[in-house]
Structure 1
């Protein structure tokens, strides 16, 4: 799909021989192996936190140390990133073979690099500012845990791993929760508003382990990203925006946190 297109994703050739029952089963399998599974664990994690005490008194650590021996920690970190992307490979495989390459069906192509990168940066700026506001509000209301974006020890590979982790989140979430979900739910006859809301709520649900504030913030992010997709049919700017936001959070915290007395 050309980068300048403003048609909705339904304009892309999404013909399939699959029945509604098969598409539904496929959706359940894909999300059961990935972000749907994360959502279930996230809900259970939130319930466990609520039984411990106030959320404001608890801490959630992203990108923790996985092994106390540096090179085994590096190995586990890289393996975790690679295996997390397997559902993306599965989705690309499932969407191939219908006359249009899977990357183009998802809008995951760099047709106009400067425009695509510019859109990604713009979305990242909007979401970044909003995220800080929602986090601060959630902490003030006591409905959000304290977040530690990166707890890795300082090694030569720390920053590259955090960047790869950010890219992993961007690719996995935007390809599955926006591009793939939109295509398949349209094939099932869902309306655009219903798909947008489902995408946004799903995005929020697998962040519930961080508290109610991040759930609200990610639902709002999901609404914006889903609306953008309905206007452009492009996933790549969303991937870039997500990766930029997470990179700034992960790497910024890892580099500046100890200097200002937090993290480390």
Structure 2
């Protein structure tokens, strides 16, 4: 009887654990994102006339802006540490349940760079198309020349996004949803929908683009079981957005206005 009770309670514990992890991380972002797009969609002005800021300043005082930016990145990575703790194996590879090991760092980096090109270029086209159709908010980048530490902080922010999203939205959710008996394609589609949802604050085209990215990343992870190429690709994409986009917005204002 005790064994039966333990077996029947395990799925409930897995679901409870998932809700806690997501509530501390990307799940909260998804809720805020839905509220943000509903707020934007119910305003008098069209979505295309509204803006959202990327990596905004957190204080008018430079020293405290740096402190707040660093602390935000640090504490956003704490749920990743929680996931690592929950899925850590005693035997090597310690993070095998997350598809993380460093045995093929060079190949994973090259694969990630190629994947960044495959995802990044269509992403730019989709954003510009969304702007032309009035379906995407104007994404306002942080200026690159504000402080000496602006670019390093933006690179850390790109690393934070790549690590957090791929570890939690792919590695962790795949591991836990498999425990619940979900099929591969059900997991791929569900995690892709989740990825699109927490980007919805930028507009419907951002949801579509990130949903497509989630499908590709999920399929690649299910096929190869390696998370490192996805983390590298995500980092490179966000680094290009955070640093390359502000330069492009200033250089080609008519295109990005």
* 1:80 lines up with 2:68 in the alignment: no
The counterpart of 2:236, out of the listed 231, 244, 254, is 244
Asked whether the 8 Å contact 1:196–1:223 carries over to 2, the reply is yes
The runs of 5 or more residues in structure 1 that have no matched partner are 1-15
Asked whether the 8 Å contact 2:135–2:203 carries over to 1, the reply is yes
With the length of structure 2 as denominator, give the TM-score of the two structures.
Answer: 0.91
Asked whether the 8 Å contact 2:136–2:206 carries over to 1, the reply is yes
1:103 counterpart residue number: 95
Higher relative contact order (CA 8 A, sep 6+): 1
Give secondary structure in 1 for the equivalent of 2:55.
coil
Give 1:112 shift. 1.4
The counterpart of 2:33, out of the listed 4, 19, 42, is 42
With the length of structure 1 as denominator, give the TM-score of the two structures.
Answer: 0.89
Asked whether the 8 Å contact 1:88–1:175 carries over to 2, the reply is yes
The counterpart of 1:21, out of the listed 7, 12, 16, is 12
Give 1:134 shift. 1.2
Asked whether the 8 Å contact 1:55–1:211 carries over to 2, the reply is yes
Give 1:105 shift. 2.2
Alpha-carbon spacing, 1:100–1:112, altered in 2? closer, same or farther (3 Å) = closer
Output the CA distance in 2 between the equivalents of 1:101 and 1:28.
Answer: 26
Alpha-carbon RMSD across the aligned residues, in angstroms, is: 2.0
The counterpart of 1:222, out of the listed 196, 199, 214, is 214
Query: Over residues 43-76 of structure 1, what are the superposed CA-to-partner deviations in whole Å (9 max), with x where a residue is unaligned?
Result: 0000111111210000111100111111110000
1:93 counterpart residue number: 85
2:168 counterpart residue number: 176
Output the CA distance in 1 between the equivalents of 2:127 and 2:93.
Answer: 39
Give secondary structure in 1 for the equivalent of 2:139.
strand
Output the CA distance in 1 between the equivalents of 2:176 and 2:54.
Answer: 31
Alpha-carbon spacing, 1:152–1:66, altered in 2? closer, same or farther (3 Å) = farther
Alignment of 1:155-234 (within 5 A): 155-234=147-226
